[in-house]
Amino acid sequence: MAEEPNISSLGSLPAELREIIWDFCIPTTDVDLTTAPPLRPNEPPLTKVSKGIRAETLPMYYAQWPLTIRCIHNEGDGHTTTNPWYHSIRPEKLKHIKRLWVYFSQARLHTGRLVYEPLPHSWLITLKTRENSFEASAAPSYERGFWAVVIWRHLEEVLGGLLDNERIGKITAADLEQLAHFNPSLRRRREKGFKG
């Protein structure tokens, strides 16, 4: 990092006022649930100015940035996989995450190669750490078909486990792994009353 700039006048302001200033300077990440989400965070330049400013602004950035979990359902073998890139986020950053963007795609074998088609199943999940709860909003194109119900019940089950253990504000990469990995085909049979 560069030499610490002289920010004595800014540092003398009350923390609440500095937070308002940082809030104006940190770009918000808009979520369009009808599109494929970006994978990785893009920490704004403000978080790299100095150690002091970084300590104040990085938690604010990660609290508003939606962590993306892109899941691919392989129609051939019935499993869902993901790129577990979120393991690269250090726990001290991960603990500030308050929004999860869960997006499902489907892979079909077409003329000898996998073709990825977006499913109309995309949710923005807001973690409410103070209340130990969560809210979810679905894509406008959300169709409450059978697959949507199966996927949502899985997400609800994993998030419910975090609520039960009062860990909604202490999410880990392993928790994200649980959200991303499941076999919808087996779950679908179970939902229909079949034994899998």
Q: What is the DSSP string of 156-184?
A: HHHHHHHHHTT-TTS--HHHHHHHH---H
Give the per-residue pLDDT at 196.
34
Give the per-residue pLDDT at 41.
81
- Predicted confidence band of residue 89 (pLDDT cuts 50, 70, 90): confident
Cα separation, 147 vs 104, in Å, equals 11
3-state helix, strand, coil in the chain (%, to 5): 40, 25, 40
Cα separation, 158 vs 151, in Å, equals 11
Give the per-residue pLDDT at 77.
66
**Closest to 132 measured CA to CA, from 158, 164, 100:** 164
Q: For residues 86 and 111, which has the higher predicted lDDT (pLDDT)?
A: 86
- For residue 54, the tally of other CB atoms under 10 A from its CB is 16
Give the per-residue pLDDT at 1.
53
pLDDT digits (tens, 9 = 90+) for 150-160: 778 888 888 88
Give the per-residue pLDDT at 142.
53
Cα separation, 161 vs 126, in Å, equals 16
